[in-house]
């Protein structure tokens, strides 16, 4: 599936874009960049102006511009993507679960960059079954 089709195939009301410190060194991963492009590059503009933090646990809620079928984008900072561990995965799931509860959302689409630790993502996939709000979430990793 190409990136455009993947973006427009998701009908979730909330998309969570997981952003780490690599955004300060490299362009956004292709899938994250595609979502941002269709949202008038609000993420990139916010990052350039240092309005969107990427430290682990930081959260920024963005409205969408209407080009996407999603209502809101939650930018979740994950810090150093390459060195995330199992403890970080449990903390991530706890923080996301609290955010979803606060927003009254279930089953988001969660997008990680290709730099994100594979052990971290594996733990997310394994442990999310313990959360009602996350058990049916869609998870994508930008690989290009």
10-residue mean pLDDT series, the chain (144 residues)? 88 95 88 93 93 95 88 95 93 95 94 92 93 91 78
Q: How many CA atoms lie within 13 A of 113 on its CB side?
A: 25
Are 109 and 6 in contact by the 8 Å Cβ rule? The answer is no
CA distance 49 to 74: 18
Nearest to 51 by CA among 92, 19, 83, 89: 19
* pLDDT score for 76: 97
pLDDT score for 144: 60
Distance from C-alpha of 45 to C-alpha of 91, rounded to nearest angstrom: 28
The β-bridge relationship of strands 72-79 and 14-20 is: parallel
Question: What's the pLDDT at 66?
Answer: 79
Nearest to 123 by CA among 96, 89, 94: 89
Distance CA 13, CA 93 (A): 18
The count of other CB atoms within 10 Å of the CB of residue 43 is: 23
Give this prediction's pTM. 0.94
Per-residue confidence (pLDDT) for residue 67, from 0 to 100:
86
């Amino acid at each position: 599936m190409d990136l455009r089709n993947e973006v427009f195939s998701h009908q979730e009301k909330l998309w969570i874009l997981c952003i780490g410190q690599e955004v300060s060194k490299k362009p956004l991963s292709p899938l994250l960049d595609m979502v941002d492009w269709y949202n008038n590059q609000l993420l990139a503009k916010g990052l350039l102006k240092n309005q969107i933090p990427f430290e682990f646990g930081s959260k920024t809620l963005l409205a969408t511009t209407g080009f996407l079928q999603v209502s809101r984008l939650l930018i979740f900072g994950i810090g150093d993507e390459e060195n995330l561990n199992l403890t970080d995965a449990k903390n991530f799931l706890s923080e996301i679960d609290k955010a979803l509860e606060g927003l009254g959302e279930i089953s988001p689409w969660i997008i990680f960059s290709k730099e994100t630790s594979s052990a971290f993502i594996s733990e997310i996939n394994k442990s999310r079954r313990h959360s009602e709000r996350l058990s049916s979430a869609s998870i994508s990793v930008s690989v290009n």
